[in-house]
Structure 1
Amino acid sequence: MTAKKVEFRSLDFERQLDHPPEKVWRALTQKELLGEWMMPSDFTPEVGKSFTMTAQWGEVTGRVLFVEPERRLSYTWNGPGLSSEVTWTLTPRNGGTLLRLDHTKIPSDSKQAYHGAKAGWPGFLDALKKTLSDID
């Protein structure tokens, strides 16, 4: 018998934000702020730490893989029908921050999860922009 080769897909988004990297970093890593724009969670930006985020449609669990404050954050993203990774990259640009989101290692056969993430991330990113405007 031959083992089936698992193929993966990814989603990539970029947003130019009118806020400095340190402010964007706070919104990505402080659980109180994460709850405002993404989902309530017990997130802590420490490598190896596990976390849970809760939404109406279900739960996402993960583990922090990489932390470079105000530059890069990566964690696993495990939700209904999906086991993948999310990486945020912050680059200072034009007096603000170029924010890049890479959602990778999405199994090709997880079509519903892929399309859900493809539809969901733009809404989260819009909510992030609003949260950034509302905090000091």
Structure 2
Amino acid sequence: MNDLSPTRLAPDAYGTLSEPDTLTIQRLLPGPVERVWEYLTQSELRRQWLAAGEMALAVGAPFEFVWRNDELTSPPGARPAGSAEEHRLECSITELDPPRKLAITWGSTGGVTFTLEPIGSKTLLTVTHRRVCERPMLLSVSAGWHTHLDVLAARMAGQEPEPFWDQIARLKPEYDRRFPA
């Protein structure tokens, strides 16, 4: 059953804390669920908004994400001191229900779940990042997902996204303000 209320059709761009250490963030994206699924699971499409990395679609399958955030937007904006040109993360698939749900491990956190729901001709993508316990990491993860999802939405709509690092710098203090200390 779909809730077709205006709020449901146009979710707030900002993530929320669905639990004290769990970020939930949504985007209503153009196109069918299958198209969004391809942007989640195909390395060549995923690298345009998040990170590259070949992914065998099987529960337990390991894979590596490779971030090159300077390549996501042109211009990329000012990369903060201490941020590397490239970042890698070993992950594995923990749950798989194509093309509706993908759950993966994510470093020392409780993992990330991507849920896709058709809403008319669009797709509601919900990202849930669990057990992000330390506040600095929570703020970084929140600004990061927000920015990466904005890049995805722009790419899928054929638009040019805001410079990646400038948006991260703008969003971290906003998430600090929005989330209780």
Structure 1 length-normalised TM = 0.81
Name stretches of at least 5 consecutive residues in structure 1 with no aligned partner: 1-7
Pair 1:64-2:93 in alignment: yes
Note if contact 2:27-2:153 (Cα within 8 Å) is conserved in structure 1: no
> Secondary structure of the residue that 1:11 maps to in structure 2?
strand
Q: For the Cα contact (< 8 Å) 1:23–1:132, is it kept in 2? A: no
Are 1:89 and 2:115 an aligned pair? Answer: yes
Partners of 2:42 and 2:54 within 8 A in 1: no
Tell me which stretches of 4 or more aligned residues in structure 1 moved more than 3 Å: none
Q: How many residue pairs align between the two structures?
A: 123
Distance 1:51 1:131 in 2: 24
How far did 1:57 drift? 5.7
Partner of 1:128: 152
- CA deviations over 1:70-101 (Å, ceiling 9, x no partner): 111100111xxx43310011111122111111
Q: Structure with the greater relative contact order (CA < 8 A, sep ≥ 6): 1 or 2?
A: 1
| Structure whose residues are more often strand by fraction | 1
TM-score by length of 2: 0.62
Query: Any unmatched runs of 5+ in structure 2?
Result: 1-19, 68-84, 159-181
Residue 16 in structure 1 maps to residue 45 in structure 2: no
CA contact (8 A) 2:103 2:111 kept: yes
The RMSD of aligned alpha carbons is 1.9
Letter paired with 1:26:
E
